[in-house]
């Protein structure tokens, strides 16, 4: 009894599988005809056509058998390009540190000019007390350094 049930299940799945394949072949062929209709000499493939074939190649095993106007390697190339473009779009960002505002830069310079004896840690502490999150390297970059007298010969000692 069990082998009979298995054979029946295999038969039903086979019927539906071939029916699904046939149903997928119809829009594939119609889409190719549409491309031929709107093209004069050489088929012009639009982005929508590329998306259609990349999608169809993913979900239908026999897509290469009905493909007529481009090579299967071209469709695979479209898929790869779309995959790369998708990940490039998802991972886009500006490299480097985030920019700080010009007001914050000027504030750091103003504090260091007004308090020439304060070092970077003190300026950093004051900014944090004001609720301004800033890195030590940022304060080091923008604070005004006190001038060192030059030691030229013949000058004041």
Each residue's pLDDT tens digit, 65-92: 777 777 788 888 888 988 898 888 888 8
In the block, residue with structure tokens 């209709």: 37
Sign of CA dihedral 128, 131, 137, 141: negative
Higher pLDDT, 112 or 17: 112
Each residue's pLDDT tens digit, 43-55: 678 888 888 888 8
Quote the pTM value: 0.38
Do 111 and 126 contact (CB within 8 A), yes or no? yes
Nearest C-alpha neighbor of 134 from the set 124, 126, 142: 124
**Calpha distance 36→65 (Å, rounded):** 18
pLDDT at 108: 94
The structural domains of the chain, with segments of one domain joined by +, span 7-90, 102-142
Each residue's pLDDT tens digit, 104-156: 999 999 999 999 889 999 999 999 999 998 999 999 999 888 777 766 666 55
**Calpha distance 46→37 (Å, rounded):** 13
pLDDT at 153: 66
What value does the CA radius of gyration of the chain take, rounded to a whole number of Å?
Answer: 35
Quick one: average pLDDT of 34-38? 75
């Amino acid at each position: 009894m069990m082998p009979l049930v298995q054979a029946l299940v295999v038969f039903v799945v086979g019927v539906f599988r071939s029916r699904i394949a046939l149903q997928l072949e119809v829009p594939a062929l119609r889409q190719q005809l549409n491309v031929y209709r709107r093209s004069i000499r050489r088929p012009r493939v639009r982005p929508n056509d590329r998306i259609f074939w990349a999608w169809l190649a993913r979900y239908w095993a026999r897509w290469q058998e009905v493909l007529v106007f481009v090579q299967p390697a071209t469709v695979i190339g479209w898929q790869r390009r779309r995959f790369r473009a998708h990940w490039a779009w998802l991972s886009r960002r500006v490299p480097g540190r985030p920019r700080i505002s010009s007001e914050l830069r000027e504030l750091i310079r103003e504090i260091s000019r007004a308090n020439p004896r304060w070092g970077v840690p003190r300026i950093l502490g004051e900014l944090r007390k004001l609720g301004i999150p800033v890195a030590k390297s940022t304060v080091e970059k923008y604070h005004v350094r006190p001038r060192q007298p030059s030691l030229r010969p013949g000058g004041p000692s």
